[in-house]
Structures are given as structure tokens and as C-alpha cells.
A and B are shown apart, each in its own frame.
Chain A
Amino acid sequence: MNAPAVEPILETRDLSVDFGGLKALDGLDMAVYPGEIVSVIGPNGAGKTTLFNAITATVAASEGDIRFEGESLIGLDPNRVTSRGIARTFQNVRLFANMTVLENVMVSQHCRTRQSVFGALLYTKAFRDEEAEITERGKEVLSFFGHRLVGYRFDQPAYTLSYANRRRLEIARAMATQPKLILLDEPVAGMNPTESAELTGLIGRLRDEWGFAIVVIEHDMEVVREVSDRVVVLDHGVKIAEGDYADVSTDPQVIEAYLGHGASA
């Protein structure tokens, strides 16, 4: 691990998640540094999505600690985790399907806005300014994806979008929460090669232009090789390898996890 001298932005220490005796995560230690793209890979059921759920407090960690910017996230509600600066996408796209594209990215700025009922009722200047601001920022994150989500699309309900655009909108919605760290759960799943190549480029730009640290769960090894600074391999809730793509992909333990015993020979 080429750990630089800076503090990790996200760190899990001895993180375990139990589901009634089944250990979905077992004593996981990992760290993500600012401006880094880390891929988490592993066979099905390895605990990848559980890791995301534990970080975002959707499931409770049974042991260990998760620290974000040096502070523990344990015991926080999911919305507090988001307002600390962690945003995520979902493996099975979960947009607010009947809200418009623009409303989707406006509503996710909820924790960055402060206007109360009274502001809305009195239609104060502060309220109008805030509305204008979140509309502006919403349009800004949508324009990150080129022409696909802008213009007349702003006012279309999200369910009218194509599958690939829904995935893009999910990323836009995560970006709009103004995070420092984005967790992408299989961002290119179900996309065709052209689309996933394009999105791979976008993940790089997310880091370079927006300065997010990114953790990606991905099965598509092309994408993993392309984007990752570092790869963490999970199997049965345990980290079995970590390093750059070249090291990890030749690691006998990893090959064994994916292909079974004897395959590494």
C-alpha cells in the first residue's frame, strides 16, 4: 500500500456486520485517502454492498468502528452520514421515479439547505435565493453528463429515462448532496460496452474535476482496471487482498476466491 502521509478520509477498523449469526463482514480494515478511487471487488455474497450499507448506516455495524475524517460514524442516522459528506448510489437503481429529473437532484440537497416552513410560506428573499441556488446546482451536476439529462429532460419524470440515464441520474443525485466521498454500487451494471466505457471516463473526471474520493463496487474488470488507484478484494466478509490492479489480479488467493480451489495452480 502506497499510503501517503495524509490522514485517510474514510477508515474502517475491525468492522463486522452480523445478520443473525451470518457474518456478512468480518473484521474488515480498510482506508480510503482523499482524491483516491478504490475498487471493492469480490464474488457474489462477499459483503461488498453490506460494506456500503454499514458505512451509510443503513445497517448497523455489530463491531468495530467506521471513521470519516477522523470522526466515528457509528450510531449516526443515515441522513446524518450523508450530511457529513458521504453519498451513495444503489445497485438496483432507486430514483424518485415520479419526481422530475431536476427535482431528484434538488431534493438530495435537502441536508445542505436550511429554509423552514415559514420561509416557504412568507416567500422570503432567503427562501427564493436558496431555491435559485439549489436549482442552479442541480443543473450544474446534471450538465456533468453532457446533453443527456439537460434541457427538456429537467422537467421529465425520472421513470421516463432509459436505464443508462437512470444510472447517470443516480450519480448526479449523489453529487448534488455535496459529498466528499461517493460510494458507487455497480455503476455500469447492465450497460453496454460503449456506455460503460463512457461512464468509466466520467468516474475519473468525478475525482479530477470535482475532487471526490470514490469507492466503487464493480464486477466489470475492464472498468476496475481503468479507474482504480487501489483494489480491495473481499470474500466471505474478509479482505483477502489489496493493492493495485496488476498485483491483485494475479494474486492466487483472489483467483481461488473467484474460480474455486485448484484454479490457481
Chain B
Amino acid sequence: MSLAAPSDPAPPPRPASEPAPETGPSVGGSDDDAPPRPPFAQDWRRIARMGAIGAVGQIFISLSNMPVKLDGRAIIEGVLSLGYLSLVVLPLAAGSRVGHQLRREGVPFHRPGAHEVVGGAACGALVGGGLSLLAILIANFNLREPLVNWSPILADLLAFNRGTAFAVVIWLAIGAAVGAAAGLLRVVPPLARRVLWTMVLTLFGAAVLESLTTDLAEGMGIEALIDWFYAPRGGLTITGAIALAAGSGVLALVGRGRIKGAKARIDALEGPARNRAQGGLILATAAVLVILPMFAGKLTNELLANVGLFVLLALGLNIVVGLAGILDLGYVAFFAVGSYSAAVLTAATSPRINPELPWFVALIGVVILTGLVGLFIGAPVIRMRGDYLAIVTLGFGEIIRLLFLSDWLSGWFGGSQGITNIPGAEIFGLAEVAGTDPRSVFYLVLAFCAIAIYVSWRLERSRIGRAWMAVREDETVAEAMGINTVNVKLLAFVVGAVLGSFSGAIFSAKVGSVFPASFLILVSIVILVVVIFGGMGNIVGVIAGSAVLIGVLGGPKQPGLLAEFSEFKLLIYGALLVWMMLARPEGLIPSVRRTRELHQEELAQDAWLRGQTEDDHLENGEGRS
């Protein structure tokens, strides 16, 4: 650009003493030596493209009625609601993205400066302009005719009740400001960035977890404190928000590097010491999970129980997809078979046979039945590979549901009426687990999750787990190396099926009724998204994925912490999945192996750059014929 103003002498100050603790070696000497770019020497085409994408996205979000629906949920009382947050998400993302530079080793890149802020502001203004445009369109045309989803309240929301002209100006301004802020985040020293991020995430987290924390506080008898943080009608109070922000900021300052240091120390441990450290960590987590529900109310325990049910399902699917590499899109079938078989075996109202077994006795039958169904479905499916296999599993998932729905079997399973009045699970006469007491359900789920975790962990480190990995890597070679691939894959299918059936059996005892409509294909997809999002092949990742997706957003029918999202759950699931695949395909908490698989070439290149490749090239000379 000819506008380039190299005279801008004052890039934001950057303390030379801070050698960027977290950005690591990539911010080498070249970064600090390089001059900042002139603010107007922008790649305007990139900004326009990003801004246009953002604007379209933001208009789409608005017309989906998300801002209006979410406006009821306050983040900070009187200042920010989730609805308005949904209106500034994309300017923020676009502004940040525009300031992103591809950093390659050996290629000089410029030092972040005013350039990033201007770019971010321009891009953010474009996205905000999308909303301005929308405000004009709403004011002048009848958009209700073709686009039925949005409600007229949107116009007021956009205009802050002050008319269209105000809306046009304010959204340009808000967009620019938010974009500039996002750009600024790239400029400030890493420490400041870290503190800011911690503050923002703490506030957001505190607002999201509101019902959970109030519930726990009531259980522990510290409502007074919580009332100070949260406003009566939801959202953080302003004072509470300031206190939280300040507190978390100070913690971030003090704790900087400590957590990483501690993690590094644990990683550096070897042998028994490491096992002890890990054991301690697991024990501590278990203790928290056992003690926490005692203080929690019904709602929280209900939520925890739902998350637990999905953790159980996700752990089962993780064995099939994550370890053995069989893309099963019909996993809900096993959840359904588990639920129905438990219902038939325990309920007095079951149409054909009703042995009314105690739950734990029935569980044996459930495991056997689901194992058989797993074999039955698996046997034909397993012989296929890749896409075909996925499609066939999708089909079987639906077939199972339709069988439960069919008239043909309605004498057994009640057709669309399902089976109702299923008794709760009695645990050896000690306690009765039923939906009316979500705490007991959670403990039952917890116990089965522990079993599932143990099973996954043990099997992964056995000849069977290794065979699964080999099959996932290269099926032909695995077979040539003496692995009976059909048996091994079938085993993964059955183990996964049995774990899924546990979840189903608990589900039927919890809900007290089963209907075919509870086992839609959507459940399969949600479980798969949980596994992929959390980190395929990694137990901790899968649990984290369930906690975030099911706990916060909600399951297919279960509300999460952000119950306002329920209408937009699938939209957000989809967006998260796409973003995850682009930005971090290995998932939230990846397994080391998966990461390697996905970034093999990059890792190899890094190793080469560091000069840490094989030594015997050098030993033997490089020449090859």
C-alpha cells in the first residue's frame, strides 16, 4: 500500500526483559530483531475475505435467533448477556485471526505491533458492518416472510432500543473495537496475554457454572458468599465480576509457569515414582468425585449422572473407534439393546416376559445379550473396511431402533409405547438407585465408569490392545503378521458393545421407561462427536469431551449447564467439530499416538531441523542407489 506510514515510531512497549516464557523457541532472535510492520501495509484482501466470512456468519447467527434466545442468560448482570456475547464472538475471532501470522523457522516475520491492531479493527468493523446491514434490512424489508426463525425482538436488541441509525453506527463501532482488542491481544507481551485470558475465561466459566456453584454452595452452607458473586436473576454481579477478575489475574501472575513446571516434573519422573504421582492424582480425582455429590443438590447430581452416562458410552466407543479404528456410526444400537434388555428383565410391565429380576442379576443377562447382538451385528460389518463399514454400522444402528419400534416385536418391547414403570436398581439391598435420587444414580454411573476406565487402560496395554493398534495402522500387514483381524476387530466391537450396554442398563433404571425415540441416530453422532472432540484414543480426553459437550451444552435430550443453548446445541456441536478438525484434529486432550499420526510429517521435519534424526545416515555416508 502506498499509504504505508513507516513513521509510526511507537509500537506498544515491549519489556525487553520478558523473554516470552510460553511461546517457546519459535519466538527466537529473529522476532525481536525484526521491525514491526507499518500499520497500513495490510493485506486488505485477506481482511476483506475474513471480514466477509465473519459478517455472513454473524448474520446467520442473528437470524437463527440465537442472540434473542440467549439474551435471557446474563454473564455479568446488566452489562453482558450470552446473547450479546454471541453477537461479538465472530468479530473477536476474525480480528484475532487476521493478526495471525504463519511462523516458520528460518523465515523472518515481523514483530507484532500497530499493524495487528489496525488489521483487527478493520476486520472486526467489517463483521460488525454485517450486523449494521442486517439492522437496515430488518428496518426496510419484511424478512419474516422467507426467514421465519428470527423474532422481531432482534431489531430492538441490535439497536439497543434506539432506532436503526444508532444500530448501524454502534455495530460498526463495536465490531471495530472488539476486532482491535483481539488484534491487541497479539501485540501485548505474553504475560499480559496470559493474565487477560485467565481473567476472561474465569469470568466466562464462573457465569457458565453458575447453577453448579450455587448448588454446591447451598450444600456447603456458604450461600452468603455466592449471593455476593451472583445476582438474584442470574449472572455475576459487577462487584463479583471485578473481584473474580482481579483474583484470577493475580493468581495467573503468581502461578505463571508453576502448573507447567509441576506437570514437567511429573513427566520427568520415571518408574515407581511416576506411578505413585499418577496414582495420587487418580485417587485425588476419585475422592473429589465421591465427595462432591454429597454437597450437591438434585440438579447438579442429575447433570453429573447424565455426563457420567455419556462418559460410559464414549469410553465404549473409544475402544471401537479410538483403539481399533472401526468407525462405528451406529453405536446407539448397543445403548438401546442394553436399555431394553434391562427393562425386559427387571420390569413387571414388560409385555411378553417379565422375570422381574433384581437389577444386578439382570445385568448379567444384559451383558450376554448385548455381547450376542454385538457379535451378530459385528460379524458381517467387520469384513468391510473404511467408508463401507461406517455406512453399514449406520444402517444397523437404525435397524435396531426400528425393530424396537416395529409392530412385529411390539408384543415383546411395546412398540412405540415402549416399556414403562421400570424399577430402579437395587444394590444388594443397600440402596435403591432410581431417577428420583440422582445422587445414587451418579454413584452407580461412577462405579461403572471406573470399571470402563480400568478395562480400557488394561486392554490397551495387552496383546489385544496392540493388535487393535496394528489393525488400525495397516490391516493387511497386521494379518500378514499373524493377527486374526476378524477376531480381533470383533472383540473390540463386543467389548465396546458391553460397555455401552452398562450405560443403557443404568439409563433405563434412571429414567424408569424406555422408548424407541430415546435411541435416535443422533445419539450415535453425539457420542462420536464427544470422542472426537475430547481426543480419540485417550481416556482423559474422552472424559473431558463429555464434560464439556454434555455437561455444558447438553446431550441429545438432556439439558446442560447452558440450558439456553438447547435449541442451538447441534449448530454449536457442528461448529465446534469443524473448528476442532481444522485447528486441533487430535482433540482436546489427545493421545500421544493420535497426535503423532496426525502430525507425523511435521514432527519428522522438526526432528530433522533440530538435527536429531538418525545417526547412521552419517555413519554410512548419505549416498544411496
Identify the A interface with B (CB < 8 A): 56, 58, 77-79, 82-83, 87-88, 90, 94-99, 103, 106-113, 115, 117, 119-121, 123, 127, 130-131, 134, 148, 157, 159-165, 173, 177, 190-195
Contacts and interface: CB of A to CB of B under 8 A. Distances in A.
Nearest to A94: B477
Contacts of B467: 107, 110
A87 B597 CA distance: 26
Nearest to A160: B607
Contact of A108 (B458, B481, B624): B481
B145 interface: no
Contacts of A177: 481-482
Given A79-B480, A96-B473, 18 more contacts: A58-B476, A83-B482, A87-B481, A94-B477, A96-B469, A99-B466, A109-B463, A110-B482, A115-B463, A117-B459, A120-B461, A121-B458, A130-B463, A160-B614, A162-B614, A190-B624, A192-B620, A194-B620
A147 to B, nearest CB: 9
Contacts of B345: none
B419 interface: no
Contacts of A107: 463, 466-467, 469-470, 478, 481, 483
Contacts of B454: 121
Given A98-B596, A121-B459, A79 B483 contact: yes
Nearest to B625: A192
B485 A79 contact: yes
Contacts of B485: 79
B469 A103 contact: yes
A103 B478 CA distance: 13
A130 B463 CA distance: 9
A87 B482 CA distance: 9
A95 B480 CA distance: 12
B614 A97 contact: no
A162 B613 contact: yes
Contacts of B600: 97-98, 159
B621 interface: yes
Contact of A103 (B466, B604, B617): B466
Q: What DSSP secondary structure best describes chain B's contact surface?
A: helix
Interface string B121-164: 00000000000000000000000000000000000000000000
Contacts of A119: 462
Nearest to A78: B479
- Interface size class, chain B: 35 or more
Given A160-B607, A192-B623, A113 B463 contact: yes
A192 B623 CA distance: 6
28 contacts: A58-B476, A79-B485, A82-B482, A83-B482, A87-B482, A94-B474, A94-B476, A96-B469, A96-B477, A96-B478, A97-B600, A98-B469, A98-B593, A98-B596, A99-B466, A99-B470, A119-B462, A120-B458, A120-B461, A127-B462, A134-B463, A157-B596, A162-B616, A173-B481, A190-B624, A191-B624, A192-B620, A194-B621
A117 B491 contact: yes
Given A99-B470, A160-B607, A194-B620, A120 B483 contact: no
Interface of B: 454-455, 458-459, 461-467, 469-470, 473-474, 476-485, 491, 495, 593, 596-597, 600, 604, 607, 613-614, 616-617, 620-625
B480 A164 contact: no
B491 A79 contact: no
A4 to B, nearest CB: 30
B91 to A, nearest CB: 40
Contacts of A98: 469, 473, 593, 596-597, 600
Contact of A78 (B466, B470, B480, B624): B480
Contacts of B622: 192
Given A97-B473, A164-B616, A56 B462 contact: no
B621 A192 contact: yes
B479 A79 contact: yes
Please provide the 8 A-B residue pairs with the shortest distance between their CB atoms, ordered closest to farther: A111-B482, A162-B614, A82-B482, A120-B462, A108-B481, A107-B466, A96-B473, A78-B479
B487 to A, nearest CB: 9
B614 A165 contact: yes
B416 to A, nearest CB: 37
Contacts of A94: 474, 476-477
A242 B469 CA distance: 42
A110 B463 contact: yes
Contacts of A113: 463
Contacts of B623: 192
